[in-house]
């Protein structure tokens, strides 16, 4: 049992180490990732900071913004872990990992831990500029901020991993994360205190993991600031009159991350899950009597709710997409010419019938 656990742990560590080696080899990426948060801090912090009053506390908008920007810096490398899982599949390295005599969950855990580490590094380098945002260089404060970043990274990396194992391609992943990021960031209280939002919107923000990360980071900060605790800017998030403490925010983040990871592992561990079936050869397509390309069957298109594309798996094992424009939302048909080994043609069912009656086959 101990040996078994040891093997799983070593596999997790191997996956983790591979990612870290790549991270260290591409240090330029780390430096470049500093640019956007710095730009945000400069443009919003200084620009907007002149408009937002600090209420005489001496703690300005830049200080308010800083924890949020740190969490934002974490979010994109964290979600990138999902892209990296899909990238491994395209690259073929996923197969090398799947051949290891360990549970698939251990491999995914390695990926998530590596993503957490990478994302935390991306957020933590910003702490170098803490002084510019009016934060004291207090080891206790910096340490607790890093701790918040670790949990925020974990939650978001797990979310990325969950999306990755559920989505078919890196392109779809990009589209979905692109859609998600806007609302996640805007409803997380990075730019404005959530206490100003109407109560129905507050409920939405409470479901957002980024909110808890930003709130936890901000309240860790206020505890170390001299006079800002009463500032309207720093007022706590309130959901139905409840004010979650920093510990509760962190617990929420951990639970969210653990839930995502659990679901991702379950999905990832399904056999055949990560394998695309090979394209069936012409020999495997159903043959008609004369073997000379007469259509063998027609098939009506189904509709995938996720992609909003019309596609279906035909009984020949091929996936079909909507053949051409103008065939209407639910009225596509495919027909199959096998026998001669060419790819299937597509068309409306009446076309097929017309071909048949006019002796369209060679």
Partner 1 sequence: MEPGIHAGSPSGVTLPNTEYARGAIPRPPAVRAESLVKTYSGAEAVRGIDLLVRPGEIFGLLGPTGAGKSTTIAMLCALVRPTSGSLWVAGRDVRTDPVGVRRSIGVVFQSTTLDGRLTVEENLRVHAALHGLARRRTHRRITSMLALAGLTDRRHALVSTLPGGAKRRLEIVRSLLHHPEVLLMDEPTVGLGPHERADVWLYLHRVHRESGATVLLSTQYPAETDHCDRMAVLDRGRVGDVGTPAQLRSRLDDDPVRLVLPPPRSLNDVLPHHAGHNPRFQARSHT
Per CB under 8 A, residues contacting partner 1 are 6-7, 10-11, 13-15, 17-18, 21-22, 25, 91-93, 95-103, 271-272, 275, 277-285, 313-317
Residue with smaller CB distance to partner 1, 283 or 350 = 283
Residue with smaller CB distance to partner 1, 136 or 341 = 341
Residue with smaller CB distance to partner 1, 299 or 310 = 299
Q: How far is the CB of 312 from partner 1 (least distance, A)?
A: 10
Instruction: Give the residue from 237, 218, 192 showing the smallest Cα distance to 48.
Output: 192
Instruction: Give the residue from 306, 309, 337, 313 showing the smallest Cα distance to 323.
Output: 309
SS3 label, residue 237: coil
User: If phi over 0 gives left and psi between -120 and 50 gives alpha, with beta otherwise, what is residue 291?
Assistant: left
Residue with smaller CB distance to partner 1, 143 or 286 = 286
Q: Could you give the CA distance from residue 78 to residue 198 in angstroms, rounded to a whole number?
A: 30
Residue with smaller CB distance to partner 1, 213 or 316 = 316
SS3 label, residue 193: coil
Q: Could you give the CA distance from residue 255 to residue 249 in angstroms, rounded to a whole number?
A: 10
Q: How far is the CB of 261 from partner 1 (least distance, A)?
A: 20
Phi and psi, residue 298, nearest 5°: -115, 160
Q: How far is the CB of 7 from partner 1 (least distance, A)?
A: 4
Q: Could you give the CA distance from residue 298 to residue 356 in angstroms, rounded to a whole number?
A: 12
Query: The tokens of 321 are what?
Result: 């997409």
Q: Which residue has the tokens 């251990």?
A: 106
Q: How far is the CB of 280 from partner 1 (least distance, A)?
A: 4
Q: How far is the CB of 16 from partner 1 (least distance, A)?
A: 10
Pair 303, 310: CB distance under 8 Å? yes
Residue with smaller CB distance to partner 1, 97 or 233 = 97
Q: How far is the CB of 117 from partner 1 (least distance, A)?
A: 16
Q: Could you give the CA distance from residue 323 to residue 359 in angstroms, rounded to a whole number?
A: 23
Q: How far is the CB of 218 from partner 1 (least distance, A)?
A: 37
Residue with smaller CB distance to partner 1, 104 or 212 = 104
Q: Within 10 A of 334 (CB to CB), how many other CB atoms are there?
A: 26
Query: The tokens of 190 are what?
Result: 């990075």
């Amino acid at each position: 049992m101990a040996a078994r656990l040891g093997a799983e742990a070593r596999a997790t560590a191997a996956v983790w180490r591979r990612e870290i080696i790549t991270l260290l080899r591409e240090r330029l990426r780390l430096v470049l990732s500093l640019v956007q948060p710095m730009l945000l801090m400069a443009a919003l912090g200084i620009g907007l900071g002149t408009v937002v009053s600090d209420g005489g506390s001496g703690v300005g908008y830049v200080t308010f913004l800083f924890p949020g920007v740190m969490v934002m810096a974490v979010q994109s490398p964290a979600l990138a872990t999902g892209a990296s899982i899909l990238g491994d599949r395209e690259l073929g390295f996923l197969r090398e990992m799947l051949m290891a005599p360990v549970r698939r969950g251990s491999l995914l855990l390695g990926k998530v831990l590596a993503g957490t580490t990478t994302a935390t590094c991306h957020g933590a380098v910003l702490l170098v500029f803490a002084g510019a945002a009016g934060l004291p260089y207090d080891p206790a404060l910096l340490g607790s901020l890093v701790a918040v970043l670790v949990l925020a990274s974990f939650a978001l990396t797990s979310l990325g991993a969950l999306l990755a194992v559920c989505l078919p391609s890196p392109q779809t992943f990009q589209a979905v994360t692109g859609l998600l990021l806007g609302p996640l960031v805007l409803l997380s209280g990075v730019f404005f205190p959530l206490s100003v939002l109407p109560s129905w919107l507050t409920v939405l923000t409470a479901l957002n993991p980024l909110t808890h990360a930003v709130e936890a980071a901000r309240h860790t900060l206020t505890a170390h600031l001299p006079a800002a605790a009463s500032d309207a800017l720093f007022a706590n998030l309130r959901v139905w009159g409840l004010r979650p403490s920093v510990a509760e925010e962190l617990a929420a983040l951990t639970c969210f991350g653990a839930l995502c990871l659990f679901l991702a592992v379950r999905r990832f561990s399904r056999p055949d899950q990560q394998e695309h079936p090979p394209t069936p050869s012409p020999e495997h397509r159903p043959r008609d009597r004369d073997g000379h390309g007469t259509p063998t069957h027609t098939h009506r298109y189904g509709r995938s709710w996720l992609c909003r594309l019309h596609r279906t798996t035909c009984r020949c094992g091929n996936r079909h997409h909507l053949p051409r424009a103008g065939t209407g939302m639910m009225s596509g048909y495919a027909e199959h010419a096998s026998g001669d080994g060419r790819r299937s043609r597509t068309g409306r069912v009446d076309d097929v019938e017309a071909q048949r009656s006019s002796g369209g086959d060679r």
